Each structure stands twice: as C-alpha cells, then as structure tokens.
Amino acid sequence: MSTALTFTTSRRPDGAVVLTATGEVDMSNAGAFATALAGARQTAADTPFVVDLTAVEYLDSAGLSVLFPHVEHLHLIANPLLAPVLTIAGLDDVTTISE
Amino acid sequence: MSEDVFAAGDDVGRDLAAVDWAATPLGPPEQWPQSLRTSVSILLSSRFPMWMAWGPQLTFFCNAAYRRDTLGQKYPWALGRPASDVWAEIWGDIGPRIDTVLAAGEATWDEALLLFLERSGYTEESYHTFSYSPLRDDDGALVGMLCVVSEETERVIGERRMATLRDLGSDPSAVRTESQMLAFAGAQLGHNRRDLPFTLTYLLDDGAARLAATTGIDAGHPIAAHAWPAAQLARGESVLVPLTGDLPAGDLPTGDWAEPPREALLLPLLQQGGAPYGFLVAAINRFRELDEAYRGFLTLVAGHVAAGVASARNYEAQQRRAEELTELDRAKTAFFSNISHEFRTPLTLIMGPAEELHSRTDIRDEGVRADLDVIHRNGLRLGKLVNTLLDFSRIEAGRMQAGFEPVDLSATTTELASVFRSAIERAGLAFEVDCPPLAQPVHLDREMWEKVVLNLLSNALKFTFTGTVRVAVRADGDRAVVTVTDTGIGVPADEMPRLFERFHRIENARSRSNEGSGIGLALVKELVELNGGTITADSTVGAGTTFVIRLPFGAGHLPAGGGTTGVSATADPYVQEALRWVPGAAEEAPEVVAPATGARVLIADDNADMRDYLTRLLRSAGHRVEAVGDGQAALESARAQNPDLVVSDVMMPRLGGLELVAALRADPRTAGTPVLLLSARAGQEAAIEGLEAGADDYLVKPFSAAELLARVRANVELARLRNHHARWRTALIDSLQEAFFVCDDDGAIIEMNSTFADILGYGPEGLPYVPVHPWWPDPAADPEGYQQVTGAFGMLIEQSRGTYTIPVIHRDGHRLWVAAAFNKVADPETGRHVIVGTFRDVTAEHYAVQRESALAVLSVRLSQAESLTGALQGVLVTLRELWQATQVCAVVFGDADSPAVVTTDPELSWDDLSAARRQELATLREKPLLTSVAEQAGGAGIALEHPDGTMVLFVELAENRPFTEQDQTLLALLAGHLGQGLNRIHQIDQQRETALALQRAILGPAELPAGFAVRYAPATRPLKVGGDWYDTVTLPDGRIGIVVGDCVGHGLQAATVMGQLRSACRALLLQTADPAQTLTALDRFAVRLPGATCATVFCGVLDPATGDLAYSSAGHPPAVVTHADGTAVLLDQGRSRPLGVRSRTDRPAAHYAVPARATLLLYTDGLVERRRQPLTAGIDRVTTAVQQGRDDTLEELADDVMDGMAPAGGYDDDVALLLYRHPGPLELDFPAEPTRLAPVRSALRGWLARCGIDPSVAQNILVAAGEACANAIEHGHRHRPAGTVRLQAAATADDVHLTITDRGLWRTPQPADNPHRGRGLNLMRALMTEVTVTTGTAGTIVGLQARIPR
C-alpha cells in the first residue's frame, strides 16, 4: 500500500489548470504523482499550469524529481513546511508559499 | 602422613613424631591443616634456630638448631607442650611480644635481648636476637607464631669483656704513678659491673696486704678487711672463695644484678721474677658459670693491673736512676778536666804491654789477638783524646811549648798525607797530593803541624763519600799556602761561623762515623795560630769543603826553639782510627753459634770496635747477634728479622739512635721491639729524651760488661713478659666470636684474629691487606654491594667511630653479610692513629630480616591480588627484586595440554622456553615439594602446590651469582607462604565467581528499557556486590517502574538482603503500579526480613510517552531532573521514612512531569556523601555534573558522573546510579519497502513531537531521515530483497541524533544514472547540521544530527 496521496484537477476562473495534491509524496507514490502531473499538464496545454501542494505534508526528493520535468511550465503553491525543501531544490522562483 | 610432616627433622623429627599429639589441642598430625604442616616442615628443614607455637595453647615445636643453641636440658620435654610452660621463666618478657604478634599479625624484632634462662641447671644470663612472625591457618586466621632466633650470649658477653680490657689498655699517658694507675684501672673496671660486680685490689708491702683500690664496693665495707688466703696468693695461685659462711659479708653489693655474687676469684698480681705485687679480689657474676673464658678474662684483668703496677714502679725507678746519672756526670766532668793528664801513665802502661803482647809470636789464639788489637786501637784512640784534651788544657794554661824549626813544608806535608793514602783509597776516594817544593822553609812546630794536617785529612775522609781529597802546598807572596780540599757533604752556611768553635758539632751531618768530640777543628785553629798562621774554610753544601792555611815564611814572627824531624808516632792513632771507618776493616768477629735459649739481638753502632766488643760480649752470653754500622741499616734489619732486642748507639751516621727508635715504633712490625740505647751523653735530660722517643732502656757509657748484660737480659725478659701479655691478648682476641682487625689510616689491614680468617678465609699470612681488599664484592658482578662497601670504607677512614653492615665475599667465593664496629685510636706504642674494629657474621640475621621483609612484601602482594594469575605476577616481581634475578618464572603443570607459564618477562608460553629449561622444570616438578634445588647454571627452583596442580617456581640469577643455602631456605619459606596464599586466593576466587553470578542474578534487570543508563560500584572488594541496587520494571500498561535503593551495610550480607528487597519491590510494583503503595507494602516485608529495615528506596512509575513520573521516597536522597535549558529540579516531594520505620501517616506520593530532553538522575548516597561535607554539597556537585553533560549521550554522561564524583581513593561506599532522558530513544526496524516509509515517518514525527521539537525543524529532520530511508530501501531492493532497515533516534538537550542502518551497499551517487538520488543526499546535507555516511561490506550507516534551536 502506497502512502496516501490524492489528486484533483480543476481550472481556475483565469483559465489556469490547477492540480491539487493531498497527502504525502515519497518514493512509494512518486509514480502516481508523475502520472497525475503529466495528465494535468496535458489538460493545461498552453494555459498556465499550477500545482497546489498546500495540503501536502511531506515531499522529498522522489517528489521533487517528478516536478522537475515540468518546471518551466508550472507554478507551485505550497505550505511553509515544504518551503525549505523547495528552496533547496531551486524551485522557490516558481513557488508561492501560502500562509 | 605423620611421618611426612616430621621427615625433615632427623632426631628432632623423630622425637616430635613420638609426642602424643592426640593429647594436645592440635590433635593427631593426620588431621593437621596444610598450613601447620607447611610451617612444621619449613621449621624442621631450616638450619637456623627456630621454634614455633601453634594453636590455642601455643603448642611448642622447635628444630635441631634451636635444640642445640638454646633449649638445652629442656629437650625433648618441651616438644608439644604449651610454650608458656616451656619458657615459663621468661614468659613475662616474651609473652607480651607473642600476644602482639597474634593480635596485630605483625612481626616483632628484638636484638640481643637479655633473658634469664633455666636451661643449664642455673639461672643463666643469656642474650638472644629473635623475630616473632605470625602464622596463619588455611583460612588466613592468626593461629601461631614462628620465632627465628640466634643466640648471642657469647658475643654480647665477649664484647663486654673485650671492651673492659680495651679500656684498661687505653690509658693515654704512657707513664703514671702507682696511685694514678690504680685509679684509672679502677674506673675502667667499675664500668663493667656485670662481669665484675665488685673488685678489691690489694698491694703487698713487706708481706702485709694493703687495700689499694676498689670498684663497685665501698672501701669501708667489712669484707674489705677480710683476711684473704694471702699465702696461696703469694705463691702466685688463684683462689676461688665462696662469699658465704663466716665471711664478714654484710650486705654485699650486687653490681648490675638484682642479687649479690656468691663467689669471688682471687688473683695474684704477678711480678716477673718476684713475689706478686698484690692480689685482686673479683666478685663473680652469679648468672654466669666461671668457665675458662670468664677465668681468662679475670686473669687478663689482673695481668693488666700487675703490668700497670710494674710500669709505674719502673718509671719511678727510672727517674731515680736518671737523677743519679746526672750526679755521676757532674763528678765525671770534674774528674776529666782535673786529672786527664793522669791518664797518660796508665795508658802507657796499658799500651806498652799490649804492644808487647801483640808482637809476641807465641800468642796464636785468634780471640786473644783480636782482643789485643782492640786494646791497642782503643788505647791509641784514648791516648789521642787525652792528648788533645791536654793540648787544650796546655793552651788554656799558656803552657804549650812549641819547638819551632825551619821545615820543608812540601816534603813534610807530603809525608804526612801519604800515611792517609791507604785509608782514603780504601774508602774509594781519589787522593791527590800536589806539593811542589817551595823556595824557602817555613818555621813551625813539626808536631803541631802533624796534628793540623792529620786532623784536616781525618775530617775530609770522614765527611766525603765520593770524589777526591786533595792536599796542595803553594807559595803566595810572603806566605806558604796549604789547602786541604774534599768533595764531601760540605758545611751549611749558617754553621760556618761556628766551624772552629770548640766542642761545636754539626748536628745530623752525614759522616762515616759519628765519633768525635767536636774539638778537632778547634785544636787545628789553635795550633795554626800558635805557629803564626791563619786558617779559613770555604764550603758549599753537597760540593765540598776547602781549608786554607797561610803560614808566613821566615822566623821573624816566632820565638826560637828546637824540634824533631820525621813523622812522629802522632800519626798512628789518626790513621788507625780512620781505617776503622772504611769498609774492609777488621770486622770479622768470629761467629759463635748461639744457644737456642738466647735472644736475637741487633746491635747498631758506628764504632766498629764497640760493635765488635758488644757482639762478642752478647754472644758469650748466649744471644744471637747481628751488628750493623748505623741506624738505617738497623732499621732495615729490624724490619726484616724482627729481633728480640735492639741495642743502639745514640749518635750514628745516616740515622741516629733516637730517630731509629722513632722509626721502629712507627712501624707496626717493630713497634713492640724493645730498644736499649747506649750513649756517651749522660744526664737526666738525655735519659728522658731517649725514653720519650720510645726506648725501653738507656745505658750511659762507660758501662761495665755486667751492667750491659744485665740490662739486655732484663729487657729481653720484659719483652717476653710483654709478649706473654701479647700472647694472652692474641689468645683472647682469637677466642672472640667476633672478627677483630686493626687497620692503619690508609685502610690497610695490618692485624687480625683467627675469627677474621675463619669468616673471610683470608688469614694473617696475607697481611697487610691494602685496599681494595680482596673480600670486596666485584664491582661488575655486584655493583650495589661494591657501592655499599666503598661507602662503609669511606666512613672507616674518615670517621672516628661507627658501625656498618656490608656484603663481602669469602675467599671461597660465597657471599656473607658482616656487621662491623670500629674505633679510631692512637696506638699507645707508636702514637699513630689506627682503626680497631670488630665484625661478626650477620648473614643469618641479615637473611632473617630479609626473610621478614620478603614475607611481608609477599603477603601484601598476595593480599592485593584479585586472581591467581595476578597474585603470581606480583609475587614473581617481588622475587625478582629480592634476588635481583634476571627472570623468575612459575610453571603450573595442570590439566591443560601444555603447562601454564607466568614470568616476569613479557608473555612467554611453555613452547617459548628452551628445551633445556623445560627439562629442568619438568625435573623440578618431580622433586619433593617445598625443597629448594639450586641449579648449576645460576638459578634455583622449587616445587609447590598450586590449586591447578604442581607448580614449579624458578629463579634465574645473573651469571656467577651463587644461590646460597640461605637463599634456598628463604626460597622454601616464601614458596610455603606462596602456596598457602595461592590456595587462599583460589578460595576467594571461587567465592567471587559465586558472588558475581549472584550479583548478575540479583542486581538489576537483564535488559533496560530504552532511554536508561545505569552504573553500579560496590565498595567491598574483591566481591563486587553490595547493598545498593537499581531496578526498572515494565508495567502492563507500558509505564516503567523505576527503583533505586540502599540497604544498610556492604558486601555479601547486604547483597542478600538487597536481592530479596529488590524482588519484593519488583513484584509489588507489578501488582500495584503505584509507588506509595509499593513502598507501604515493602515496609511490611522489610520488618520481617533481618537487615532490611532502614533501607532507603526511591520508587517511581514513569510514563515514557508523556514523561509523567509518579514517585515516593522512603528516606532516599532526592532525584534530580535537569532540563534541556539547564534548570535543575530536586524531586524532594513524596518523602517519608526509610523502610520498616513506623510512621503514623501513609506514605505520600508526588508527581512530576519530566519535560522533553530533560535528564532524570537517581542515585544512592554513596555517590554524593562525603565526610565532613553536607549531603547537599554532594547533590549540588552531581547536579552540576549532569547539567554540564546534558548534551552528551546518556552512557557518556553516566561514565562522566561516576568518574567525576569518585573520591581520590575510589568510592568507599556502594554506589548505584540510574539516568533517564525523556523521551527515550526511538528505534524502528522495518522491511526495506517503500510502503513502510509513511508509517516510519509517522512514528518519527510523533517522537520528534515528544522531544519538543518545533514542526519546521521536525519537517527538515523528517525529510532528511526520509531520504536516508529511501536510499536504504533502494539498496534493499537492489541487493537483498528481504532486508530490513533500522532507524534509531535519540535526543540530547540540544541535538537530535539519527542513525539509519541498512544491510545493502551504498551507491555512490551517479547523477547521470539517477539524478534525483544525488538530490536526496544534497537535501540531507542542506537540512542537517551533520551528515555521515559509512559504507562497509555489511551495509551502510547514515548518521544525521540536527541542532535544536533554543
């Protein structure tokens, strides 16, 4: 059984596609996260693509590694707990930390 | 069995075996403990006197040496009896010592203790040097004592008597009056009131006894007036008189004793060749038998007193004689000066017939002819002297009749000189006569001129030893000049002005003869001046002397007168006299074989006739005579021949008589040789001078043959008397048990007694022994011994008295210890300082001391040891030091395949030993136990019992070091103790094994819950158990019961109580889960358990999840909680009384919430309690220690606290310590599967929260740990699918430490291969304070550390 992680994809009024993840991301479910990212990305096509990690309590390098292929297209929203990891990974310029 | 015990004892062993032991408290020997058997066999096998006492009645044992030296008639009665019966008479002295030994276990040492023994049928004064050492039974309890003793009675008493005799002979002034002498002797005798409780000295005046001196008794005591058996004494016999019965004894003085003497020995004061001077009454010490030694001592004392009386009376007689001689001299001088001319007639009447007899051919007897020659020569000489004296008196009276005539000075002088030619040439000198004819004659009195020339030539010959004598005549203006030149000794410049003074002689001038009156040159000058001339002298010391006579030509200056021609008879006496000075002269006095009874007499006189005369005279009296011409020759001869008497002239060339005496006295070989001086110089001063120089007698010329012979006889007899004393002295010194020696101030041994030779093997034949003495230890083989001897030698030379003990080497090579005492004294005969010393062989005592100290050291080593091997190692080091051995090894032949070896050298095994050594050891193993075996090749071994089997102990000595009999005894003794000691340690070992097992069983939980650290230090060694304990017990609800307690007392006893309390407490906690209830229930338990009341206990129940601690304390010191920020809190609530102490209230409980990362400390008072310090001081100190260590791991902290709190000498009380840090560490083991990551994270998150770490820091830790776990899972996937991963986390006050361990191989990040893995490591490094990765074949360990912000 993989670590609990759920996704929802929605479109914001401004047209941006938002992938909202809930749970924890580690090597056990990084594959699922990658699939979800790829699906949402496809949906977004050329419109802005936002990955909302506010409800993700844990993200490690396995999760980061599936974010990197999309780094030029996506924007991240994350809670402060993930800030150090995202900063260290060099993703802080595409990240908005929600308060 | 019983035979074995006594097997070593021979006779004593048999007699011991015959004792009915069953009737003694010791029981039959079969039942004796090993320690007693060992002691008995050591005792019996020793050659040193020993006895021992064992058991409740101190049953008596002894060995053969003790029987012989000390026990006497008490043998064999004494064997097996209580020691207090055996030595009842001295129990008052030795009983308390034995009590001391038995009470304190310490050895005693007494040196030369005076004991009154009843072993010889009377109460006997005796001296013993002995040591009592404790004996222990197999359990180490004190059960008896061993006494090693040496009997010193003879030594002590011999020394005491010797001291008295030495003091008697130490009178510093050579000559004293009789009363002074008696006072001095009395003072010396009075110092020894043990051998001489009192003495009375009587002198006989005309047969009546007169009390002259007393010691130790009042002169008015009634016994002093007793009529002693004078007749017997007058016959020179000693008489033993009982001091009882009808004697007017009164209360007799007791001397140094408690009881008065019972007998007195009366000894005559013997006079050589006469009735005794008197007698000595010497009271006898009632505690000593009047044996030969005692009698000899008293005889010598009497001899000393007699000699003193003789000497004093001699001195007085000498003084009278000197006064008479002075008077005689005065008369003689007057006689000579008045009537010397009267000699001429009798001289003529002697000389005439003598010459006539001499010329008779019918007298062929060589002896008669020799006598006639002597008469003739000495008649001539006397005539010459008389004529010279008469010339003077004529000159002085103005009656000198000179007959002047014209003389051919050259011819006359040549003629005169020629008569001296043969004498001068026989003396080995060149003789030059250079007298060319003069143009005119010289007017002079021919007879006077002859005297002038003959005197000058005689003088030249006398003082010239090599070179030339020259006579020359010249004309010089109106004078003729005659010079007489020699190459002789010359005249010192300061003597020149007095050269022509009448009777002036140059002292100490080297000459062919010391004959001469000192008037020759004076006469020459008078005669030259009578002839109108002058004489001068010119001289250089060492080069020669020239006399110059100037005589005017012509007769204007002279009265007219007739004369004679030709060399007159005047010349004959001069030449005859001169010829006697030179070698080859008629000295061949016939050898007469002296009868054996005669003395050997050495004559020294420069006058050949006197020499011959004395020789004939003394030979005719039966003496063996050697004659020499001067003092130097006499000295050499005396040194070589050691004559009985030296008869010497005072005035002699080279070495005069007085100097000869001084030289003889200065040489120890001749210091005692009597010297009789002969001299023409009369007068008291001269006599005193001679006697002060050390001459024994003094005879003034002229002397009669009878007088000389009488003096010679007297001196020879006196010398023999003196030798008689000397022989007595030698005999006494030889009979001393002590070695005696005299050495000069250079340290050369010049005299010794037979004991000296016995002890060292170097006899008097090798005297003198100059340092370095041959008995000194070899500096190479025994540097320490050599050092000691050189030190002692320095003391001997530099100090005036002292004692020392040194090792020396006997001539046969064995090593001894001697104790010497010495005194620097002035030799009464020579005045030189010599060192007189005695020494005795203290080898036995030295080794006794060595034995005692070795045993003491051994005992200490054994008592300190905690194991058999440890004990052996310590003992081997001790043995190596004791013998300065190169190596000491112990080999135990046990059950193992190869024998176990312990050595003083780095680890050696049996196989490392040489085959020869292995063989030696195996041989020793088969020898009887406890019997030393000295090996040829520098070492010794002994077999003894070791708990594991037979053990062989081997001492390997440096090359050439002998292993002496004493060494063997010592080794046996030590081995005996070692065997017992090892046995004891073995028992203790077993006890300790048991105790350790017990301790492991009861001390604490086998496994502690996580988060705890404990320490335990018992005070009692070697058993490592005590009354303190700690315990943790996990309760059914997951909480943890914590107990720290302290029972009263230490050691095994306390440990058993502790074990039961601990178990009870554990059970009660499990049941109640409540500290106060547990303690209440434990109270009830404790009152029924002996030794359990008053135990203190801290009991708590901790919830490891929350840190909540419920606790209650039964009189226990408060627990300490140290917060992460350093704040310390004492858990001093919930307190009540110690266990089993009644209380009216229930035991209270208290709660405390232990905060995150706080450290809880529980302990027993041994950790903090110190003498003279309040308990709070200790608690403060331990609190500080925990504060400082709050960031250390719990184990480190436990070590630091135990070390930091320990007193300098280690803990003297049991200490238990328990530490807990909240929360306990997290430990997770999980399969290496990705799906396990989330639950692990969840658990870690919860633990971090319990650690009080804020969520953001916790998140970082979670990510870092997650990365490490992910890595581990990857390794597991790749290599070991079934692997597990372990995560451990622990917190200190400021840090969190995590360790992630897997069984796989770490992969060095390969970014191209798997970029996000490298990212994982980077993440860890970025998030953590410290990251370590350790990869080995067994797996990988990742260490993470994060600082917790305050």
Report the range out of B755-764, B786-795, B824-833, B1098-1107 with the highest average pLDDT: B1098-1107
Nearest to B1238 among A3, A68, A84 (CB): A3
- The per-residue pLDDT for range B1234-1270, each reduced to its tens digit, is 888 999 999 999 999 999 999 889 999 999 999 999 8
Whether A65 contacts chain B with CB within 8 A: yes
pLDDT given for residue B282 in this prediction: 92
- Quote the pLDDT of residue B569: 55
Query: What per-residue confidence (pLDDT) applies to A12?
Result: 87
Mean pLDDT confidence for B789-798: 85
Percent of chain B residues past pLDDT 90, beyond the cut: 17
Cα gap B195→B199, rounded to integer Å: 10
pLDDT of amino acid B1225: 92
Per-residue buried b or exposed e for B907-935, using 16+ beta carbons within 10 Å of the residue's own CB = eeebeebeeebbebbeebbeeebbbbbbb
What CATH code is assigned to B600-732?
Answer: 3.40.50.2300
Nearest Cβ partner for B1270 among A2, A62, A82: A62
Phi-psi region of B1337 (alpha: psi -120 to 50; beta: other; left: phi over 0): alpha
CB contact under 8 A, A27 and B1237: yes
Looking at residue A58, its pLDDT comes to 92
All residues at 6 or more sequence positions from B640 whose CB lies less than 8 Å from its CB, including other chains? none
Q: What is the pLDDT of residues B1039-1082, one digit of tens each?
A: 999 999 998 877 777 888 888 888 889 889 999 999 999 999 99
Residue A26 is nearest to which of B1238, B1259, B1319, comparing CB atoms? B1238
Is A66 inside a domain boundary?
A: yes
Which chain B positions have a beta carbon within 8 Å of A26's beta carbon? Answer: 1234, 1237-1238, 1241, 1266, 1270
Which span out of B225-229, B379-383, B816-820, B1180-1184 was modeled with the highest average pLDDT? B1180-1184
pLDDT for the residue B1109: 95
Residues of B in contact with A3 (CB under 8 A): 1235, 1237-1238
Is the residue at A27 inside a domain? yes
What would the two tokens of residue B803 be?
């004692």
Q: Is B386 exposed, middle or buried (0-12, 13-18, 19+ CB in 10 A)?
A: middle
pLDDT at B730: 66
Around Cβ B275, how many Cβ atoms within 10 Å? Answer: 14
Cβ contacts of A82 on chain B, cutoff 8 Å: 1259
A-to-B residue pairs, Cβ atoms closer than 8 angstroms: 72
Q: What CATH superfamily is the domain B740-841?
A: PAS domain (3.30.450.20)
Mean pLDDT for all residues in chain B: 81
Average pLDDT over residues B1165-1174: 87
Characterize the bridge pairing of strands B479-486 and B544-552: antiparallel
In this prediction, residue A22 carries a pLDDT of: 93
Rounded to the nearest 10 degrees, the angle between the axes of helix B34-45 and helix B965-1002 is 170
In the numeric block, the tokens 């004792």 are attached to B19
Q: Strands, DSSP E only, in B995-1103?
A: 1012-1017, 1028-1034, 1040-1046, 1096-1102
Q: Identify the weakest region by mean pLDDT among B83-92, B709-718, B787-796.
A: B709-718
Degrees to nearest 5, angle at CA B1158 with B1152 and B1162: 65
| Bigger pLDDT: B868 vs B1281 | B868
Q: Is 60 exceeded by the pLDDT of residue B1343?
A: yes
* Residue B356 burial class via C-beta count within 10 angstroms: exposed 0-12, middle 13-18, buried 19 and up: exposed
Question: What does the pLDDT read at residue B341?
Answer: 52
Distance CA A78, CA B1328 (A): 22
Burial of B666 (0-12, 13-18, 19+ CB in 10 A): middle
Dmax over CA atoms of chain B, in Å, equals: 174
How far apart CA A34 and CA A66 sit, in angstroms, is: 5
Residue A38: pLDDT over 70:
yes
pLDDT digits (tens, 9 = 90+) for B467-503: 899 999 998 888 899 999 999 888 888 888 878 876 6
Residues of chain B above pLDDT 70, percent: 85
Domain that holds residue A84: 13-97
Of residues B767 and B288, the one with the higher pLDDT is B288
Whether residue A25 lies within 8 A of chain B, CB to CB, comes out as no
Contact B202, B341 (CB under 8 A): no
Least confident of B110-114, B522-526, B1192-1196, B1334-1338: B1334-1338
Can you tell me the distance from the alpha carbon of B310 to that of B314, in angstroms, rounded to the nearest whole number? 6
> Mutate which of B1259, B1271, B1313 to test chain A, going by most A C-beta atoms within 10 A?
B1259
Contact B678, B647 (CB under 8 A): yes
Examine the pLDDT at B587 and tell me if it is beyond 50: no
8 A C-beta contact, residue B1214 and residue B1170? no
| Closest residue of chain B to A30, computed from CA coordinates | B1234
A85 and B1316 in contact by Cβ < 8 A? no
Inform me whether the pLDDT recorded for B399 exceeds 70: no
Average pLDDT of the residues in B157-178: 76
Higher pLDDT, B607 or B551: B551
Q: Is B43 helix (H, G, I), strand (E, B) or coil?
A: helix
Whole-number pLDDT of residue B596: 42
pLDDT at B819: 87
Does B590 score more than 50 pLDDT?
Answer: no
Task: Among 2.60.40.180, 3.60.40.10, 1.10.540.10, 3.30.565.10, name the CATH number for the domain at B1003-1221.
Answer: 3.60.40.10
Using an 8 Å CB-CB cutoff, list chain B residues near A89. Answer: 1319, 1323
Predicted pLDDT of residue B558? 61
- Direct distance between the N- and C-terminal alpha carbons of chain A, in angstroms, rounded to an integer: 32
Q: Tell me the pLDDT band of B1196, cut-offs 50, 70 and 90.
A: very high
Compute CA distances B216 → B193, B253, B1170, whole Å.
7, 7, 66
Q: In what order do the strands lie in the sheet with B142-151?
A: B59-62, B50-54, B142-151, B124-136, B108-117
- Work out the burial of residue B588: count CB atoms within 10 Å of its CB; fewer than 13 is exposed, 13-18 middle, 19 or more buried: exposed
Considering the domain B1226-1347 in this protein, what is its CATH number?
Answer: 3.30.565.10
Pairing of the two strands B624-628 and B600-604: parallel
DSSP bridge partners of A24 = A58
For position B566, what pLDDT does the model report? 41
Listed by start position, the domains of chain B span: 2-151, 172-313, 394-561+568-579, 600-732, 740-841, 846-994, 1003-1221, 1226-1347
Cα-based torsion angle of the residue sequence B733, B738, B742, B743 in order, rounded to the nearest 10 degrees: 160
Across the interface, do B1320 and A61 touch by the CB < 8 Å criterion?
Answer: yes
Which CATH number is associated with domain B172-313? 3.30.450.40
CA–CA gap between residue B796 and residue B783 (Å, rounded): 20
Per-residue pLDDT reduced to its tens digit, B932-989:
787 766 788 888 888 888 889 888 876 666 677 777 878 888 888 888 888 878 877 7
The CATH number of the domain where A34 resides is what?
A: 3.30.750.24
| ipTM score of complex | 0.93
Q: In this predicted model, which residue has the larger pLDDT, B860 or B149?
A: B149
Residue B828 has pLDDT above 70, yes or no: no
pLDDT surpasses 60 at B584 = no
In a 3-state reduction of DSSP, which class is residue B1330?
strand
- B689-743: pLDDT as tens digits: 767 777 777 777 666 677 788 788 877 777 776 666 666 666 677 667 778 888 8
How many other C-beta atoms lie within 10 A of the C-beta of residue B516? Answer: 15
Residues of chain A neighbouring B1260 (CB-CB closer than 8 A): 84
Which of A56, A60, A64, A87 to probe by mutation at the B interface, max B CB count within 10 Å?
A60
| Assigned architecture for domain B846-994 | 2-Layer Sandwich (3.30)
Whether the domain at B172-313 and the domain at B846-994 fall into the same CATH topology: yes
Reply yes or no on whether the pLDDT at B1178 is more than 80: yes
pLDDT of A5 > 50? The answer is: yes
Say if A85 is an interface residue toward chain B (CB within 8 Å): yes
**Cβ contacts of residue B160 below 8 Å, gap of 6+?**
B192, B194, B195
Average pLDDT of the residues in B15-41: 87
Over 90: is that where the pLDDT of A52 sits?
yes
Quote the minimal CA–CA distance from B1286 to chain A in Å. Answer: 18
Q: How many CB atoms lie within 10 A of CB B1172?
A: 5
Per-residue tokens: B1133: 């609530």
Residues of B with CB under 8 A from a CB of A: 1234-1235, 1237-1238, 1241, 1255-1256, 1259-1260, 1262-1263, 1266-1267, 1270, 1273-1274, 1315-1317, 1319-1320, 1322-1323, 1326-1327
Within 13 A of A50's CA, how many CA atoms are on the CB side? Answer: 18
Residue A59 counted as domain residue? yes
Taking the Cβ of residue A2 and every Cβ of chain B, the question of whether any pair is shorter than 8 Å is answered with yes
Do the domain assignments include residue A69?
Answer: yes
**Residue of B1135 and B938 predicted with greater confidence:** B1135
Best of B1235, B1316, B1317, B1328 to substitute, by most chain A Cβ atoms within 10 angstroms, is B1316
Count structural domains, chain A.
Answer: 1
At residue B326 the predicted structure's pLDDT band, cuts being 50, 70 and 90, is: low
Q: Predicted confidence band at B995 (pLDDT cuts at 50, 70, 90)?
A: low
Nearest residue, CB atoms, B1255 vs list A1, A68, A81: A81
B2-151: CATH architecture: 2-Layer Sandwich (3.30)
Residue A42 lies in a domain: yes
Is the residue at A67 inside a domain? yes
Task: Count CB neighbours of B274 within 10 A.
Answer: 8
Q: What is the mean pLDDT of residues B1023-1040?
A: 84
Tell me whether the omega of the peptide bond preceding residue B1349 falls within 30 degrees of 0, making it cis: no
Beta bridge partners of B902: B890
In a domain, A7, yes or no: no
The pLDDT of B445-468, averaged and rounded, is: 86
Q: Which residues contact B898 (CB under 8 A, 6 or more apart)?
A: B909, B910, B911
Q: Which of B1233, B1313, B1319 to mutate to test the interface with A (most CBs of A within 10 A)?
A: B1319
The strands making up A49-59's β-sheet, listed across from edge to edge, are: A5-11, A17-25, A49-59, A74-78, A95-97
Residues B708 and B713: their CA atoms lie apart, in Å, by 8
Comparing A18-27, B144-153, B495-504, B528-537, the range with the smallest average pLDDT is B495-504
Output the DSSP codes for B1214-1235: -EEEEEEESSPPEEEEEES-GG
| Minimum Cα–Cα distance from B1235: chain A residue | A2
User: What order of strands is seen across the sheet that includes strand B468-476?
Assistant: B430-434, B468-476, B479-486, B544-552, B534-540
| For residue B172, pLDDT beyond 70 | no
Half-sphere exposure of B88 (CA within 13 A, CB side): 7
pLDDT of the residue at B563: 41
Say whether pLDDT at B1129 is over 90.
Answer: yes
Highest mean pLDDT among B246-260, B590-604, B688-702: B246-260
Question: What pLDDT was estimated at residue B1156?
Answer: 92
**Residue of chain A nearest B1273, judged by CA positions:** A27
Q: What is the pLDDT of residue B59?
A: 92
| Cα–Cα distance measured from residue B1228 to residue B736, given in angstroms and rounded to the nearest whole number | 94
Q: Contacts of residue A28 in chain B, CB cutoff 8 Å?
A: 1234-1235, 1237-1238
Contact A24 B1326 (CB under 8 A): no
Average pLDDT value for residue range B453-464: 86
Q: Which residue of B has its CA nearest to A82?
A: B1259
Chain B: residue whose CA lies nearest to A31? B1234
What pTM value is reported for the model? 0.41
Report the residue from A1, A58, A89 with minimal CB separation from B1235. A1
**H or E stretch including B632?**
helix B631-641
CB B1224 within 8 A of CB B1160: no
